[in-house]
Amino acid sequence: MISHDPVDDGSHVILSSHSNQFGSAIRINWGAQDPLERGPVIGTISNKTDRNVIGTHGGSYTVYRALSIASGHFSSDHRPDLTHTDPAVAVEPQPSWFEEGRIVSLDPWGAHTNVVFREFLDQGISIQPTIAITQAHLTLPEIHGAIEAERLSVDGEIVTESRDVRVTKIAIDPVWHLPSISERFKIKESTLRKTLFSETGGMFPELVTRSDLKVWLPPIGSSTAYVFGHVADLANPERELTCRVHDECNGSDVFGSDICTCRPYLVFGIEDAVRTAQRGGVGIVVYFRKEGRALGEVTKFLVYNARKRQPDGDNAATYFHRTECVAGVQDARFQEFMPDVLNYFGITKIDNLHSMSNMKYDAITAAGIRVINRIKIPEDLIPADARVEIEAKKAAGYFSDGDTPNSESLRSVKGRDLT
């Protein structure tokens, strides 16, 4: 049987580093106040001459899209029909959108493309949103428990009669402005481009051949903001604001693995965000796909094994060291980008920041956002095997209102053996 190959039509692969492929693409003037002057982000593959960025839409899912096309399940020239996809709630432009260097890793106009770039769309240019805003109800057993324990009440508005929580969800794909990113890291743009190119195995040649293209759609995970109360209130410093910025931990967040505090801290953040909204404030939980301190889950599980197989067993004194042995770094999350999402909503002040991380706190305050209270995870929510993590973090400078553990006490904090 002769298999049909939908892609191999005899045509040559044209390298995207050939500048004539980009034709008379619309320029992007990052940070410009007028969206038409700023210009749309055009990552379409279907008409390559319109493209004005490196990479394409969909973050890490761009690989699955390519696979669908290769296997003949998806047409490479499909143009999205965006009827009725407009945001369920408007996010109005904020001063932070136009302040230089304030937002470098997302496109603040990403949810508004259907409106502000209408004239380009009408010319037939394919412009895809990089932000989508919808609404939903959350059903969480911990929230039911909080209602039963009378820490939360059913108000019929934010917490419904059926004990669901009403929420606005905002999905944000990464859009990186390379000159601003190099500025934030205080490195040369050429160094950034060269390293991104070579360390991804040469995945994006335009990083080094097309210095005129300033925007990259990196093939990495997205972020999602969950807002409790009115989205517009996030920009109002008169309103009380509760915030949790959470980095993905699939094992704990979804499966309840007890070696870390991730899900308990996440859900405690949701509970407090809901409570804040119920008393007239607003809550936001931002979920970043940065699994295992952005080192990935395979690395994370290798570290777990290395920790638990040490001669002294898993203990808080060597918690960070074991990660560094396996991964080469303790943490690759780069919280420097994280406040971009907060700036997208125009947040200038956080009343209650649910995080003990000094890296997150430093990044938020360096972004000009005032933090009034830092909220640590309550002791009774720390799972049995997560003591090692929490004590090691306290010793490393994470926020705590108790004593900072010394090296002697760290060694005595033991985790479970592999079983």
Tokens describing residue 125:
């240019």
CB of 208 to Zn ion, least distance (A): 36
CB of 45 to Zn ion, least distance (A): 36
Q: Which is nearer to Zn ion, 130 or 357 (CB)?
A: 357
Q: Give the strand pairing for 215-217 and 54-55.
A: parallel
Q: Which of 184, 87, 79, 92 is nearest to 126 (CA)?
A: 79
C-alpha separations of 189 from 192, 214, 337 in Å: 5, 10, 16
Q: Which is nearer to Zn ion, 81 or 379 (CB)?
A: 379
CB of 260 to Zn ion, least distance (A): 3
CB of 392 to Zn ion, least distance (A): 13
- Residues forming the active site: 331, 333
CA distance 142 to 198: 45
Q: Which is nearer to Zn ion, 193 or 307 (CB)?
A: 307
Q: Judge whether 405 and 394 are in contact, CB under 8 Å.
A: yes
Q: Which is nearer to Zn ion, 50 or 291 (CB)?
A: 291
Determine which helix (DSSP H) or strand (DSSP E) holds 411, and give its type and residue range.
Answer: helix 407-411
CA distance 295 to 333: 8
Q: Which of 131, 118, 46, 125 is nearest to 88 (CA)?
A: 131
Q: Which is nearer to Zn ion, 367 or 382 (CB)?
A: 382
Q: Which of 55, 368, 82, 66 is nearest to 216 (CA)?
A: 55
Tokens describing residue 244:
């949790």
CB of 249 to Zn ion, least distance (A): 3
User: Quick check: helix, strand or coil at residue 110?
Assistant: coil
Q: Judge whether 173 and 132 are in contact, CB under 8 Å.
A: no
Q: Which is nearer to Zn ion, 177 or 376 (CB)?
A: 376
Alpha helices in 309-379 (DSSP H): 319-327, 339-344, 358-366
Alpha helices in 52-103 (DSSP H): 62-70
CA distance 106 to 197: 20
Q: Which of 389, 23, 332, 46 is nearest to 199 (CA)?
A: 332
CB of 263 to Zn ion, least distance (A): 8
Residues that bind Zn ion (CB under 5 A): 249, 252, 260, 262
Tell the residue number behind the tokens 């956002």, with chain if given. 369
Tell the residue number behind the tokens 């939903």, with chain if given. 136
Q: At what angle do helices 189-199 and 178-185 cross, to 10 degrees?
A: 100
CB of 262 to Zn ion, least distance (A): 3
Q: Which is nearer to Zn ion, 51 or 246 (CB)?
A: 246
